[in-house]
Amino acid sequence: MLLSVKALAKSYPGADGPVPVLRHVDLAMQAGETLALTGESGSGKSTILHLVGGLDTADSGEILLDGHDMTRLDDKGRAAMRRDAVGIVFQQFNLIPSLDVAANIAFQARLAGRYDPHATQDLAEALGLTAQMAKYPEQLSGGQQQRVAIARALAVRPRIILADEPTGNLDETTAEDVLDQMLALVAGTGAALMMVTHSRGLAARMERQVHLRQGTLE
């Protein structure tokens, strides 16, 4: 089992006290599995991604990722897990504007000590970015920027990819193309993929779908 989430709970401060976002969520994933998280806005989808990726801390529960309990790690430990085992694709891309495409793709892999120029070139070719490697993010279209973000997440050869509405800013045709490429690349690396999406069509492309309603799984 690559990922095991048990009794996960998370609340955020509100004007009248804590507001529950996740209520004792249980979830598991195998290596190489693809999973869609669906649900209305505010149901806790992105919160699960942030907790699994070590970007936030849970109130209670357990997150075992690749044998490590994320809930017992300090900030430094979570950062190390995020660097070494997790690839994150944000809806807003979060590329570094001062770095060109090649450097953006290599950024996390270099931090993890796993930069491979040949693998980086293969990713660029697979995602149609070969001609864009010397360009900067502001010179790219939205679809191209998203491809760079995906390449960056995969370049570190992570155990799991966490994608938060990765095609939310793209038109339908580009979204389908980007997802095709992401699924092909994930299948080739054996990484698991957990994707938050509002699109029923994109969710249907995943091996498994999990629906959240008011912080609980249905």
pLDDT at 103: 96
**What are the pLDDT tens digits along the chain (218 aa)?**
999 999 999 999 989 889 999 999 999 999 999 999 999 988 999 999 999 999 999 999 999 999 999 999 999 999 999 998 999 998 888 999 999 999 999 999 999 999 999 988 988 998 889 999 999 999 999 889 989 999 999 999 899 999 998 888 778 887 888 888 889 888 888 899 999 998 888 999 999 999 999 899 98
Tokens of 178: 């980007």
pLDDT at 73: 94
Helix axis angle, 117-126 relative to 172-189, nearest 10°? 140
pLDDT at 133: 97
Distance CA 44, CA 9 (A): 10
pLDDT at 168: 80
Tokens of 139: 């010179």
Picking from 187, 189, 188, the residue whose alpha carbon sits closest to that of residue 207 is 187
pLDDT at 131: 96
pLDDT at 174: 79
pLDDT at 135: 98
pLDDT at 80: 93
pLDDT at 189: 85
CATH class of 30-59+67-217: alpha beta
- Look up tokens 């095709």; give the residue: 180
Residues 6 or more apart in contact with residue 196 via CB below 8 angstroms: 36, 37, 38, 45, 46, 49, 163, 164, 165
Whether 118 contacts 82, CB under 8 Å? no
Q: What residue type is 39 in one-letter code?
A: G
Q: Which of 14-49 are b and which e, b meaning 16 or more Cβ less than 10 Å from the residue's Cβ?
A: eeeeeebbbbebebebeeebbbbbbbeeebbbbbbb
pLDDT at 182: 85
Picking from 208, 196, 216, the residue whose alpha carbon sits closest to that of residue 25 is 216
Beta strands 208-213 and 34-39, pairing class: parallel
pLDDT at 158: 92
Helices assigned H by DSSP within the chain: 45-52, 75-85, 101-111, 117-126, 142-155, 172-189, 200-203
